[in-house]
Structure 1
Amino acid sequence: MPSCQAINCVNERGKCGKSFFEIPDPLKSSEKRKLCKLWIDHLRNDKLKIETFVWSKGRVVCEEHFEQDCFERNLMAESLGFKSGRLTLKPGAVPTLVKPGPGVADRQKERTSTKIFQEKRRKAQLRSSVTAFVNTKEKSSNKRTLSESTDSKATKPKKFKSSAAVHPQQSDDISFENVPVHAEQHDKLPLLTIPEILPCGHPCE
């Protein structure tokens, strides 16, 4: 049996005692196509698309999805106190009483969760990339600093201490007073003649 095309509605024609109405055929006219699109948009059924919709008598919507003013009134039946058995839609009526059920809510929640997960993963990947880049820069900087330090030590001239610093007790003045002279060497030493100094201050040869 044909069932209602509204999202999450389980009413079936001939089993629930309700009136059912066929979805307008979009091929009949441009007005019918616009009306059909309005019905499909309000029914919130993912299986129904205006681009691929094919009209059939089984594509129906039950009376629960229409406002009361969408139905034609049978004034004669009302005046006699009778309730009309079969409802009739007014021209241009649209099923606006369609609420998103658990299925729609679950899909929306799932899409939201997926977006949140994708955003978290994108941020984590970005954070990981930044951390890796910083670590690489730090390693490169450390290697360059170590290399410069090694080169500086290799080319730095060594400081040698002067003989005076090494032997601080050694005197710059050399004295011959305590130098021993052997007898053989004494005979070989030249004799020094000290000239006599005259009263005038000139040496006398």
Structure 2
Amino acid sequence: MNIITDNTDIWWDGLVGTLILFFGGGLLALVLGIIVGGMRVSPIPIARGVGTLYVNTIRNTPLTLVFFGFAFALPPLLQLRIDPLILGVAALGIYTATYVAETIRSGINTVPVGQAEAARALGLTFGQVMGSVVMPQAFRSVIPPMMSVFIALLKNTTVAAGFSVINLGSVRSYLSERGENQLFVILWVAVIFVALVLLLSWLQRSLETRWRVTR
């Protein structure tokens, strides 16, 4: 326990950095993923093409290369100095959005086609059909895979440690400078991540139970 009690400042900064990356990247991924997922099933060919291009390009690119692009290519291109934490949130959000989009698309495909056709027959637009009829049902069916996506996002936050972003993944390097046993540091980091994943798993079970009752 001395590894934590003697270095609470580093552990706190690392935990806060991880949570910012997770919640910031998760929010961006959820918003962008819903939009792209809707584009993937859109009746407009251009929208489907753009959505497919985005998903196939970003999803098949290693996350480390996405970080390289945001850390070393984007700031010179924009001629701006950008906080590494903001760049980390953007990289994680844009990368994870591809998996959110595919999860949403799979959920949309579970909704019977007849319901969407009936809604269109009543005069609803595509956006109204998606927002009022399809998406509410799709979200209920994708809770387990969506939570798996966010668990992967939580673990992917450690990649940001290699790009000057303080998080739990960078705690080891900071504590090694203070002479702490690196093996025990890594074990404590693993314990924290296991606790966070268990918390997400509990949230998944709670949502599944709640929405199963309301069906």
Range into which the TM-score falls when normalised by the shorter chain? under 0.3
In the superposition, the TM-score normalised over structure 1's length comes to: 0.20
Q: Which has the higher contact order (CA 8 A, sep 6+)?
A: 2
Structure with the bigger percentage of helix: 2
In the superposition, the TM-score normalised over structure 2's length comes to: 0.19
Structure with the bigger percentage of strand: 1
